[in-house]
C-alpha cells in the first residue's frame, strides 16, 4: 500500500479561510493607556459593527506566504514574453510608475481648485502637445478612459459634425480586418454597420469601397495597421474616396506601436482617431484597467470635442466650458490622470528619436519571428508585417491539432499563449506580437518552443492534443466551462 503524501502548499494552496486558526493574529498592539470604551456605547449600536463572521484568523507569516505562493502561479510580464497580438502587452519602465506616484500628482483631488492644479494641468497640456506631434492631428481630448471609449467619443464627434452640416447619415463602414469594438461602437452611436471585405492582400479593397460609399455613409472605421499586422497601403485613397462623398475617416489607433515616430495619421487623411496610452505609451495593461483612450481630431472637428477644455491665459491654466457645439462630457472629471502621467514620462524619456527606435524594434521583432516560423506554420497573408504577424493552423489542422491546442501546448514550454482564433478573417489564426521590449534571446526561446510544437504535431499529435501537462488545472472543456461555469471552489480530500 502506498502512503499518500500531502503536497506542500506551494503546489496545493489552501484558501486563507481554511488556513485560519482561532486566536491567531497578524498584528501585536501595546496595552491601552486609556480606559477601554465599548464601541456600541460610544458610537451607538447602529454604528458599531459586530465581529465579521468567518473572518480568517492567521498570522503575518501565513498571509505573506499565502499571497507570495499564489503569485508564483501567475504568468507576468516580469517573467517572460506576452505574445498577444493587437494588445501591445509589453514591459513598461518602472520609472513611469515612480512619476505617477509623486505625492503632488498621485494625491491631486479632482475637486481641488484650478489654482492648486496648475502642475497637473501642465502635465496634461504637455501630453496633448506630444500626442498632436506624434499623430499629426490638430486637437486632442484626454477624457476617454479606454480605447473603446475613445472610439465611441470619436464617432459621436463625427455624428455631431455631420448633424451640424444637416445630416448625421445612417451607417458606418467597418473592414473585416478591424478590431471587434469598431462595429459595437458604431451601433452604440446609433449607426447601422456595413462590413467591407478585404482584398487578397488583406487590405481595404478600394474598388469595393467605391461601390459602397454613398450619401448614407457617415464614416469608415479603419484599424491601421490592421489586425493582420498589415499596413493599409491605400489609406490615402481610402480617405479621398470617403471625403469625396462627404464621409469621414476614423482610425483605430490601438496599433500605433507600429507607427509612432515614423508615420503620422493626420498626414494621410484621417479625420479622427483614438490612441491607447495603456498600450503604446506605458501603463500596465490588463486586469480591467486603468486605461486611457485620447481622441485626436483635425480642425473641422475641434469645436465638438468634449468639455471642459484646457485653456491658458497669462500663464494660468483653467478649464473652458464655453463650447456651444461640444458633445458634452464623456467622463467624470478629465480622464485617468495617473495613466496620463505615465504616458508623458514614457514619451519624454524616449524623445522623438527614442520613440522611432522603439517602433523600429517592434517591427524588427515581429518580422524576425515571422521569418523563423514561416517554414512551420501557414502565413495568413504574404504581405510585409508591421508590429505583429498572423499565421493559421492550416498545416497542423491536417493532423487534428487546432490553434487552441497549440496555445495550450505552448503553456507547457513556459510561455503565455499568443492571441487565439483572432482575427476572424483568418481561420484558425495565431496572432503574435512580440513588442519592442523583447530581446533576441527571449524571441529565440519562443521560436524554439513554437517549432518544437510544430514538430510534435507531425510526430506525436496525441501529446499536443492532451496539453497542457504541467499546469495545476488540466485541460478543460471550454464549451462546458463557458455554458456551465462552476463558481464555487471545492477542495478535494487528500
Q: Which of 294, 324, 349 is the last residue of a domain?
A: 349
Higher pLDDT, 59 or 8: 59
pLDDT digits (tens, 9 = 90+) for 50-99: 777 788 999 999 999 999 988 888 888 888 999 998 888 888 889 999 99
Helices vs strands, H then E, count in the chain: 16, 13
- Can you tell me the distance from the alpha carbon of 191 to that of 222, in angstroms, rounded to the nearest whole number? 16
- When pLDDT is cut at 50, 70 and 90, the band that residue 493 belongs to is very low
**223 CB-near residues (< 8 Å, 6+ apart):** 175, 177, 178, 179, 182, 251, 252, 254, 255
Output the DSSP codes for 438-453: --HHHHHHHHHHHHHH
The answer to whether residues 59 and 108 belong to one domain is: no
The answer to whether residues 52 and 148 belong to one domain is: no
CB atoms within 10 A of CB 240: 14
Q: Are 144 and 335 in contact (CB under 8 A)?
A: yes
The answer to whether residues 215 and 233 belong to one domain is: yes
Report yes or no on 84 lying in a domain.
Answer: no
Give the DSSP H or E segment for 389.
Answer: strand 389-392
The answer to whether residues 113 and 7 belong to one domain is: no
For residue 385, give the C-alpha cell: 508585417
The answer to whether residues 182 and 122 belong to one domain is: yes
The stretches of 311-470 forming alpha helices (DSSP H) are 337-373, 394-397, 403-412, 440-459, 461-465
Output the DSSP codes for 404-425: HHHHHHHHHTT----EES-STT
pLDDT of residue 39: 87
Q: Are 430 and 377 in contact (CB under 8 A)?
A: yes
123 phi, psi to nearest 5 deg = -60, -50
Report yes or no on 12 lying in a domain.
Answer: yes
Report yes or no on 83 lying in a domain.
Answer: no
Higher pLDDT, 481 or 272: 272
- Can you tell me the distance from the alpha carbon of 266 to that of 68, in angstroms, rounded to the nearest whole number? 47
- pTM here is 0.88
CB atoms within 10 A of CB 392: 18
CATH classification at residue 124 = 3.40.640.10
What's the length of the chain?
A: 494
| DSSP letter, residue 383 | S
Q: Are 234 and 175 in contact (CB under 8 A)?
A: no
pLDDT of residue 492: 47
Higher pLDDT, 114 or 283: 114
| pLDDT over 50 (residue 241) | yes
> Given the C-alpha cell 508591421, which residue does it identify?
386
pLDDT digits (tens, 9 = 90+) for 251-268: 999 999 999 999 999 999
> Judging by DSSP bridges, how do beta strands 171-175 and 192-196 pair with one another?
parallel
CATH classification at residue 403 = 3.90.1150.10
Report yes or no on 295 lying in a domain.
Answer: yes
pLDDT digits (tens, 9 = 90+) for 414-450: 999 999 999 999 999 999 999 999 999 999 999 999 9
**179 CB-near residues (< 8 Å, 6+ apart):** 86, 223, 227, 252, 254
- Can you tell me the distance from the alpha carbon of 251 to that of 253, in angstroms, rounded to the nearest whole number? 6
The answer to whether residues 340 and 367 belong to one domain is: no
The answer to whether residues 279 and 137 belong to one domain is: yes
Report yes or no on 494 lying in a domain.
Answer: no
Give mean pLDDT, residues 94-119: 93
- Can you tell me the distance from the alpha carbon of 362 to that of 303, in angstroms, rounded to the nearest whole number? 36
For residue 454, give the C-alpha cell: 510544430
pLDDT digits (tens, 9 = 90+) for 367-408: 999 999 999 999 999 999 999 999 999 999 999 999 999 999
The stretches of 14-146 forming alpha helices (DSSP H) are 39-43, 60-71, 94-100, 103-106, 118-135
Give mean pLDDT, residues 161-173: 97
- When pLDDT is cut at 50, 70 and 90, the band that residue 23 belongs to is confident
Q: What percent of the chain has pLDDT over 70?
A: 95
Q: Which of 294, 316, 349 is the last residue of a domain?
A: 349
Report yes or no on 43 lying in a domain.
Answer: yes
- Can you tell me the distance from the alpha carbon of 89 to that of 418, in angstroms, rounded to the nearest whole number? 11
Which residues constitute the domain of residue 476? 359-483
Angstrom distances, CA of residue 66 to CA of 8, 11, 23, 76, 334:
12, 12, 18, 18, 38
For helices 118-135 and 337-373, angle between their N-to-C axes, nearest 10 degrees: 30
The answer to whether residues 290 and 399 belong to one domain is: no
For helices 181-188 and 147-164, angle between their N-to-C axes, nearest 10 degrees: 40
| DSSP letter, residue 14 | P
Report yes or no on 293 lying in a domain.
Answer: yes
Strand partners, 253: 275
The answer to whether residues 316 and 460 belong to one domain is: no
Of the candidates 308, 311, 310, 303, the residue with the CA atom closest to the CA atom of residue 328? 308
The answer to whether residues 31 and 98 belong to one domain is: no
Q: Which of 321, 349, 377 is the last residue of a domain?
A: 349
Question: Into how many domains does the chain fold?
Answer: 3
Of the candidates 246, 243, 204, 244, the residue with the CA atom closest to the CA atom of residue 223? 204
Output the DSSP codes for 39-68: HHHHH-GGG-PPPPTT-----HHHHHHHHH
Q: Are 158 and 137 in contact (CB under 8 A)?
A: no
The answer to whether residues 324 and 439 belong to one domain is: no
Classify residue 478 by burial, with Cβ atoms within 10 Å: 0-12, 13-18, 19+.
exposed
132: left (phi over 0), alpha (psi -120 to 50) or beta: alpha
* Cα Rg, the chain, nearest whole Å: 27
Give mean pLDDT, residues 217-234: 96
pLDDT of residue 180: 86
The answer to whether residues 264 and 128 belong to one domain is: yes
> CA angle, 191 as apex, 188 and 194 as ends, to 5°?
115
Amino acid at each position: 500500500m502506498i502512503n499518500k503524501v500531502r503536497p506542500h502548499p506551494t503546489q496545493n494552496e489552501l484558501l486563507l479561510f481554511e488556513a485560519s486558526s482561532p486566536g491567531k493574529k497578524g498584528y501585536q498592539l501595546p496595552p491601552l493607556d486609556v480606559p477601554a470604551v465599548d464601541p456600541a456605547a460610544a458610537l451607538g449600536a447602529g454604528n458599531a459593527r459586530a465581529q465579521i463572521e468567518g473572518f480568517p484568523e492567521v498570522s503575518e507569516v501565513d498571509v505573506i506566504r499565502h499571497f507570495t505562493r499564489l503569485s508564483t502561479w501567475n504568468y507576468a510580464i516580469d517573467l517572460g514574453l506576452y505574445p498577444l497580438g493587437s494588445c501591445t502587452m509589453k514591459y513598461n519602465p518602472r520609472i513611469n510608475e515612480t512619476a505617477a506616484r509623486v505625492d503632488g500628482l498621485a494625491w491631486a483631488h479632482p475637486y481641488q481648485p484650478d489654482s492648486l492644479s496648475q502642475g497637473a494641468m501642465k502635465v496634461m497640456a504637455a501630453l496633448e502637445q506630444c500626442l498632436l506631434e506624434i499623430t499629426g492631428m490638430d486637437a486632442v481630448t484626454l477624457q476617454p478612459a479606454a480605447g473603446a471609449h475613445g472610439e465611441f467619443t470619436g464617432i459621436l464627434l463625427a455624428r455631431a459634425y455631420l448633424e451640424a452640416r444637416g445630416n448625421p447619415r445612417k451607417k458606418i463602414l467597418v473592414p473585416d480586418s478591424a478590431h471587434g469594438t469598431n462595429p459595437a461602437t458604431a451601433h452604440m452611436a446609433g449607426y447601422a454597420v456595413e462590413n467591407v471585405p478585404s482584398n487578397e492582400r488583406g487590405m481595404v479593397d478600394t474598388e469595393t469601397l467605391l461601390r459602397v460609399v454613398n450619401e448614407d455613409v457617415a464614416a469608415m472605421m479603419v484599424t491601421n495597421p490592421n489586425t493582420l499586422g498589415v499596413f493599409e497601403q491605400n489609406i490615402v485613397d481610402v480617405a479621398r474616396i470617403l471625403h469625396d462623398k462627404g464621409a469621414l475617416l476614423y482610425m483605430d489607433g490601438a496599433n500605433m506601436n507600429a507607427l509612432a515616430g515614423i508615420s503620422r495619421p493626420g498626414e494621410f487623411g484621417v479625420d479622427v482617431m483614438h490612441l491607447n496610452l495603456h498600450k503604446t505609451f506605458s501603463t500596465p495593461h490588463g486586469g480591467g484597467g486603468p486605461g486611457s483612450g485620447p481622441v485626436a481630431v483635425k480642425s473641422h472637428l475641434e469645436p465638438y470635442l468634449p468639455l471642459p477644455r484646457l485653456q491658458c491665459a497669462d500663464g494660468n491654466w483653467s478649464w473652458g466650458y464655453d463650447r456651444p457645439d461640444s458633445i458634452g462630457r464623456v467622463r467624470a472629471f478629465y480622464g485617468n490622470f495617473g495613466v496620463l502621467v505615465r504616458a508623458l514620462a514614457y514619451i519624454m524619456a524616449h524623445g522623438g528619436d527614442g520613440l522611432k527606435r522603439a517602433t523600429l524594434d517592434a517591427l524588427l521583432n515581429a518580422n524576425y519571428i515571422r521569418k523563423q516560423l514561416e517554414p512551420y506554420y501557414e502565413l495568413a497573408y504574404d504581405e510585409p508585417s508591421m508590429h505583429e504577424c498572423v499565421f493559421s493552423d492550416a498545416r497542423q489542422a491536417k493532423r487534428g491539432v487546432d490553434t487552441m491546442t497549440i496555445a495550450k501546448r505552448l503553456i507547457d514550454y513556459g510561455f503565455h499563449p499568443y492571441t487565439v482564433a483572432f482575427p476572424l478573417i483568418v481561420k484558425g489564426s495565431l496572432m503574435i506580437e512580440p513588442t519592442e521590449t523583447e530581446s533576441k534571446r527571449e524571441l529565440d526561446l519562443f521560436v524554439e518552443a513554437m517549432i518544437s510544437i510544430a514538430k510534435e504535431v507531425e510526430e506525436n499529435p496525441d501529446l499536443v492534443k492532451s496539453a497542457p501537462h504541467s499546469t495545476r488545472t488540466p485541460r478543460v472543456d471550454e464549451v462546458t466551462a463557458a455554458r456551465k461555469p462552476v463558481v464555487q471552489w471545492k477542495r478535494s480530500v487528500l
